[in-house]
Chains A and B, each alone.
Chain A
Amino acid sequence: QVQLQESGPGLVKPSETLSLTCTVSGGSISTYYWSWIRQPPGRGLEWIGYIYHSGSTNYNPSLKSRVTISVDTSKNQFSLKLSSVTAADTAVYYCARQVVGFYYYMDVWGKGTTVTVSS
């Protein structure tokens, strides 16, 4: 079955760019859409955006100016870049498989990776 694994630095300095990668195993990335979601400590979920294997994207308007999601089909990976980070970007970051079309939902999730923004 499809599994997702997030990877990247756990500590990022303020004003720098957060970079994470999600590796898809057990299936091809070229079939579904793929999302990033985050959860600040003790708080709820916030959708960041999704990408299709073609490279088309859809972003949360509140983050759009700072977010770039990209895909590397040769590596079965997709990535998140969030620029100009502040302490408010400290969160657990999840990647997920996104169903898009008649339904919209995320049915496979990675375990999440904690990113702390601090100097």
Chain B
Amino acid sequence: EIVLTQSPGTLSLSPGERATLSCRASQSVSSSYLAWYQQKPGQAPRLLIYGASNRATGIPDRFSGSGSGTDFTLTISRLEPEDFAVYYCQQYGDFLTFGGGTRVEIK
């Protein structure tokens, strides 16, 4: 089983700041199989990034994804008030797994 470890667990930032979220895999993951989701309280997750770096339909360009192998990053260039949420990475190896999530909270 490929384990995804997300860090930090919580990120405290102010609107307008840059957020950098990390997702590290226990073994190499195909970039095509790496996705990022945003989840707000009481809502279903929303797809942000697929294939490590492709923005999903309707996702603002302040969201970007990068990385390969075992290290992947989600960057939010300038935080908007609606971006404060929990973010999950996801991979597919033998089966699909999620990271434990990073909470981005208002400082």
Contact = CB atoms under 8 A, between A and B. Distances in A.
Interface residues of B, number: 27
Interface stretch (A19-27, A69-77, A80-88, A104-112): A104-112
A107 to B, nearest CB: 5
Given A44-B100, A45-B88, A110-B44, A60 B33 contact: no
Contacts of B96: 35, 47, 50, 60, 104
Interface stretch (B16-24, B45-53, B70-78): B45-53
Given A44-B88, A105-B35, A60 B95 contact: yes
Nearest to B100: A44
- Main SS of chain A's interface residues? strand
Interface residues of A, number: 23
A47 B93 CA distance: 13
Contacts of B100: 44
Contacts of B37: 45, 106
Contact of A47 (B51, B54, B57, B97): B97
A104 B92 contact: yes
11 contacts: A44-B99, A45-B45, A47-B95, A47-B96, A47-B97, A61-B94, A94-B45, A103-B35, A104-B90, A104-B91, A112-B44
B96 to A, nearest CB: 4
Contacts of B12: none
B40 to A, nearest CB: 12
